[in-house]
Amino acid sequence: MLKLMLACCKVYISESRNKAALESIEQAAKLFSEAAIVNKFEDVTYNRVGYTVVSKLAPKPSSNSHPLKSTVFAMVKAAFENIDLDMHSGSHPRLGVVDHICFHPLASAPLDQVAEIAKSLAGDIGSDLQACSPYLFIWSCTRRGKDT
């Protein structure tokens, strides 16, 4: 019997008041039917939105072509194209347009496979968008969470 393997990505974007920008980000996510936004949290005071995106993981991993990675990349790209931080105000400290992206395994998904997707996305954001330098937390940077 095959076990269900899911991956989750939380994407925090420094915007909640510009409805046109949020619509563009959400439309970008809808281009990938194998991943879905399952939750959206808007904090108007902070002027920040958090999306939770989920997709299945394939039994044979491939970090280069994964619907979760493609969806999140499209959302990040749309955010960069539609949000101007010079016009932004909010009480939450922010690092940029896209403030934080974190991946989590769900169900019986292996953490190593999800970490590979995170590393691949960070590489694509850094090289293709050239808008930021992604920072990876320890598990994604090293093998099994230990320095190598």
pLDDT, one tens digit for every residue, the chain (148 residues): 567 899 999 999 998 889 999 999 999 999 999 999 999 999 888 889 999 999 998 877 665 679 999 999 999 999 999 988 777 666 666 667 888 899 999 988 888 889 889 989 988 988 888 766 666 665 555 455 444 3
Task: Please answer whether residues 99 and 105 qualify as being in contact, where contact means their C-beta atoms are separated by less than 8 angstroms.
Answer: no
Q: What's the pLDDT score for residue 127?
A: 87
Q: What's the pLDDT score for residue 94?
A: 65
Q: What's the pLDDT score for residue 136?
A: 67
* Cα dihedral 13/10/139/121 (nearest 10): -70
Task: Please answer whether residues 75 and 39 qualify as being in contact, where contact means their C-beta atoms are separated by less than 8 angstroms.
Answer: no
Residues with catalytic roles: 92
